[in-house]
Amino acid sequence: MTATTASTPTITDYAKSRHTAKGYDSSKTISDEHLEEIRKLLQLAASSTNAQPWHFVIAGTDEGKARVAKATEGLFEFNRPAVLDASHVIVFASRNELSEDYLLKVLDQEDKDGRYDAPEASKDKMHGARKMFYNLHKEEIGDAEHWLDKQVYLNLGSFLLGVSALGIDATPMEGFDTKRLDKELGLDAKGMHSLVIVPIGYRDESKDYNAKLPKSRLPYSEIISEI
Ligand SMILES: Cc1cc2nc3c(=O)[nH]c(=O)nc-3n(C[C@H](O)[C@H](O)[C@H](O)COP(=O)(O)O)c2cc1C
């Protein structure tokens, strides 16, 4: 008899198998070990100039999830059950601006992490480059807040793929009252605003109709040009 070995899934296997979960099994909780992997995923995402203009609120208690769910009342009621039933809900927030203090904090962290240990590395150059990019968006292009938001969405993209590799279901949501959530969580007072909330956990097969639907994407001919 020949032994069979399960082949290691590829990144595209995870991209294909992940989906937006439409209903959660409220009795299932993400393990502490996986929660730590999730914190790491959020921390390690790439961002332009390594600005990391994000903040995440992780709601893992019934009370915390109920606070997030308030922002689905009314227009976004359809998103409410997933917020309440998921194991955890992650709020993806963006900074309204990058202050000099914040830019120096990022620079000091890079220094502590050894980024400027090599003789050819220049801390001043990096600080100048980061400021140059930010000021370009702030003063010339005029889209600084949008530019910061885009970095947070980039984090969301790698997060969705990352959690699928952990066997965790997720539901990215823009369907909530951002102003209400910002007040509820005190994000506005901290100079931040929410962009997306993501319930994560384990699907309830009886509610998650999306798990059974085939993926639908535009063909290569529409989305890719090769030159
Ligand atoms: C930024 C963003 C916001 C979304 N908002 C919602 C939402 O509020 N509610 C919801 O059920 N799905 C939401 N979705 C899920 C999309 O509809 C879904 O990703 C898309 O149809 C592709 O399907 P798939 O994620 O199952 O591959 C959102 C997705 C993204 C990326």
Task: Tell the residue nearest (CA) to atom 27 of ligand 1.
Answer: 19
Q: Which CATH class is domain 14-98+152-208?
A: alpha beta
Query: Regarding beta strands 88-95 and 192-201, do their DSSP bridges make them parallel or antiparallel, or are they unpaired?
Result: antiparallel
Cβ-defined contacts of 206-211 (< 8 Å, 24+): 206/23, 207/22, 207/23, 207/24, 207/81, 208/21, 208/22, 208/23, 208/24, 208/169, 209/22, 209/23, 210/19, 210/20, 210/21, 210/22, 211/19, 211/21, 211/22
Closest residue CA from atom 31 of ligand 1: 172
Mutate-to-test residue for ligand 1 from 163, 173, 197, highest number of ligand atoms within 8 A of CB: 173
- pLDDT higher for 99 or 118? 99
Which pLDDT tens digit goes with each residue over 125-170?
999 999 999 999 999 999 999 999 999 999 999 999 999 999 999 9
Please work out whether the CB of residue 160 comes within 6 Å of at least one atom of ligand 1.
Answer: no
Atom of ligand 1 nearest to the CA of 79: 9
Mean pLDDT of 16-33: 98
Predicted pLDDT of residue 5: 60
Q: Which residue lies with its CA nearest to atom 24 of ligand 1?
A: 19
59-69 pLDDT, tens digit per residue, is 999 999 999 99
Q: Which two tokens stand for residue 100?
A: 């000099």
| Cα 10 to middle of ligand 1, angstroms | 23
pLDDT higher than threshold 90 for residue 215: yes
Distance 172 CA to ligand 1 centre (A): 5
For ligand 1, the distance from its centroid to the CA atom of residue 37, given in whole angstroms, is 23
pLDDT band at 6 (very low <50, low <70, confident <90, very high): confident
Check if 210 has its Cβ closer than 6 Å to any atom of ligand 1.
Answer: yes
161-203 confidence digits (pLDDT tens): 999 999 999 999 999 999 999 999 999 999 999 999 999 999 9
Q: pLDDT (tens digit, 9 = 90+) per residue, 52-98? A: 999 999 999 999 999 999 999 999 999 999 999 999 999 999 999 99
In the chain, where the domains are located: 14-98+152-208
The whole model's pTM is what?
Answer: 0.96
pLDDT band at 2 (very low <50, low <70, confident <90, very high): very low
Could you tell me if 99 and 192 are in contact, meaning their C-beta atoms sit under 8 angstroms apart?
no
* pLDDT at residue number 194: 98
